[in-house]
Structure 1
């Protein structure tokens, strides 16, 4: 597999740590907001679908894409579980190319964490269930690294998206529980420094590495090793607190509402570790405010709207061969007290979580159905049948839900009555012609719908994948 790894302009002729103001985009948590709608501008999505551009790849796109300024950030999983992060143009050419791509040596582990975008900084984690230990990364909008935090340990991985609030980053780390770090305060060699001070130090270090390389080339050019950014010192964010280490298993994205951090923890049946529960923490110090047990594992995390927290669960994980007989549920709790409001069972696993909009809780399930429930009462309002299992949660804007299934079909569904408005098959569409499973939530931004596919398993295993931009005819 060919990948383009970005070795950035570390000659420092460029300013490493300054980003354009336009990079400050409000996409600071999973799927854009606490209600998990996958849309922050509420602009109407495509009324009649037309594929505007296609990015083709051999990587698998598991994490939800994230808009950031003029780019769409997409994490890719390559051969041998290599991780990459691409910055694709949001609009423009029919065959877009990344503005930059980050991979090795910066990313040494697989990446399935969707980035959070805040004040021109991109925060995401690495690692997955097959790996132990993880790194929380913070990049600038041009892809240059700002800081990284190593989180060691067995069954430690950062799969969910971070939440950034009040200049602090909140992240689940598998067996590491939940960590809170400062977004803008960092240390280098044990000393707290400003971004300007770090830039000055790195410039000097880079000049030293370049000088050594030039000297080595004169001595023996065949053995001279060109410097790369992995040779530079690494800034580390100031850690504020850590909670639930070796007690919880937090693969789901955390959610922040005011001074509350909502944590969805799983119990791993094979390893017999974790705590299947929904917890509310104090954002300031990580102390537990309340805990409610859950029936099924909450892989998609919690959604929050006003004073209500809604979490979905599943007996099955992200395994297309293990969906037979999967069960799921949807449960609502009072944000302030944790008191249960209602719970509904679903005849299919709900893996991707829930989206809250227009007084409804919308979930997609492995039985191929999209369901809407009344937020206040839990009463089911409608069912839409996609006839194919669904992993990804929906994106919602302007009264329409957009869902993608495991055959690569995108469905537009009216929130008012659950009736289908249109479908688009990525396998048969003449502009795409690339079948693939949709693991990640579709994303709406600027009236366009962005969808990515994953062929890590199933009927389309090892076939090419795509990221597509869908507009209106």
Structure 2
């Protein structure tokens, strides 16, 4: 059969149509990937900024209850499924549209206090007995496990096929994601309680030895460090080469890691509430937001290092805040959730969950997910 060959105009039209289809496909794919929450603080930069906005006045969409246990681990999300472990050693996969369990998997003599990390179709999670596991996302089947030197208090990170984990004994380890084989180790003389933050091929670790450490991920050698004014377990938040975190001395730092030696850009201290900072910060190009043992949430201008606003909570804040659209999400030890307007610092909404929040919020697809110590995973959003 004779087929008519397209002329120049038709060829141009075909190319444009194909290009448009390709762009649309790429946009959809990127949007889906961007709205996943793959690590404790969302991305490898650990800056706690959601890809999708959250309505300033959400409603409760559902609650998932795990009996006789509690949630202290932050949920991670991929393709509409939330994954989190409970303090008694059961791991849960929950559909974020329905609030129904997809699967649960119990592990003997275990308990999960920190977020998992997602890479491909696997979950990587540590427990309070020092076991790092790889689980299949499909059903929770354990692919491998390795015993580390002490409990894992922070979620792991995955970078280019390598799993990075910190332990209470001060060990920072690198493992093959396929097998769990340990292929690197860096040690400090104090606990490491932060998730590694990735900046330009380096893992940034804020340690209980009162230092910021930069570890080259390829060689696993320390390439830079900086003395800070106190110990910290806060996961650093990165915007480009600049990182932000607080200390037990109540100081909040902005540091340029693009320079060697590192340069402290500014340090903020609230003189009235100078108590320890134990949350990671949520950082945008305008504000750094963190909670404190001083019973408040602070917003600091990232350019000037000056206070933008302070939101009193009347109780300690151990849960790390999240920025979602025009609001910050903060959760307290008394079990209250607050949405705070980023511009004014005024509350737009609150919810009393009844039990403490240690886990941090997760925001995906316009939904706010957070578990409490009473064993309830809540989902809030806009009722459709």
- For 1:169, what is the secondary structure of its paired residue? strand
Residue in 1 aligned with 2:92? 86
Matched, 1:158 2:152: yes
Residue in 1 aligned with 2:119? 118
**Is 1:46–1:449's contact at 8 Å kept on the other side of the alignment?**
no
Whole-angstrom distance in 2 between the partners of 1:62 and 1:77: 7
Runs of 4 or more, structure 1, over 6 Å off, are 22-25
Structure 2 stretches of 5 or more lacking a match? 1-31
Whole-angstrom distance in 2 between the partners of 1:449 and 1:46: 10
Write out per-residue CA displacement over residues 247-277 of structure 1, whole angstroms, 9 at most, x where no aligned residue.
Answer: 34212211112211101211xxxxxxxx221
| Paired residue total | 345
What is the TM-score normalised by the length of structure 2? 0.84
1:262 to 193, 196, 204: 204
For residues 333-344 of structure 1, the aligned pairs below 5 Å read 333-336=255-258, 337=260, 338-344=262-268
The CA RMSD measured in Å over matched residues stands at 2.1
Structure 1 stretches of 5 or more lacking a match? 1-21, 187-236, 267-274, 315-326, 427-434, 455-463
1:171 to 165, 175, 187: 165
The Cα of 1:402 is off from its aligned counterpart by: 0.6
- For 2:181, what is the secondary structure of its paired residue? strand
CA shift in 2, pair 1:37/1:421, >3 Å: farther
Whole-angstrom distance in 1 between the partners of 2:95 and 2:123: 16
Matched, 1:98 2:101: yes
CA shift in 2, pair 1:417/1:112, >3 Å: same
Matched, 1:146 2:156: no
The Cα of 1:53 is off from its aligned counterpart by: 0.5
Whole-angstrom distance in 2 between the partners of 1:148 and 1:23: 27
Residue in 1 aligned with 2:376? 466
- For 2:184, what is the secondary structure of its paired residue? strand
The Cα of 1:91 is off from its aligned counterpart by: 1.2
- For 2:41, what is the secondary structure of its paired residue? helix
1:331 to 253, 260, 270: 253
- For 1:175, what is the secondary structure of its paired residue? coil
**Is 2:151–2:168's contact at 8 Å kept on the other side of the alignment?**
yes
Whole-angstrom distance in 1 between the partners of 2:34 and 2:335: 32
- For 1:301, what is the secondary structure of its paired residue? coil
Whole-angstrom distance in 2 between the partners of 1:381 and 1:176: 35
The Cα of 1:23 is off from its aligned counterpart by: 9.8
The Cα of 1:27 is off from its aligned counterpart by: 3.7
Whole-angstrom distance in 1 between the partners of 2:170 and 2:349: 43
Write out per-residue CA displacement over residues 43-102 of structure 1, whole angstroms, 9 at most, x where no aligned residue.
Answer: 111332211111123312111111132311122113xxxx2211111111xxx4422122
Whole-angstrom distance in 2 between the partners of 1:181 and 1:372: 37
CA shift in 2, pair 1:23/1:119, >3 Å: farther
Whole-angstrom distance in 2 between the partners of 1:311 and 1:37: 10
Whole-angstrom distance in 1 between the partners of 2:250 and 2:47: 20
- For 1:32, what is the secondary structure of its paired residue? coil
The Cα of 1:469 is off from its aligned counterpart by: 0.4
Whole-angstrom distance in 2 between the partners of 1:35 and 1:151: 25
The Cα of 1:25 is off from its aligned counterpart by: 8.1
Matched, 1:75 2:85: yes
CA shift in 2, pair 1:23/1:77, >3 Å: farther
Whole-angstrom distance in 2 between the partners of 1:468 and 1:25: 18
**Is 1:25–1:118's contact at 8 Å kept on the other side of the alignment?**
no
**Is 1:24–1:117's contact at 8 Å kept on the other side of the alignment?**
no
Matched, 1:284 2:284: no
- For 1:413, what is the secondary structure of its paired residue? strand
Whole-angstrom distance in 1 between the partners of 2:343 and 2:198: 28
What is the TM-score normalised by the length of structure 1? 0.69
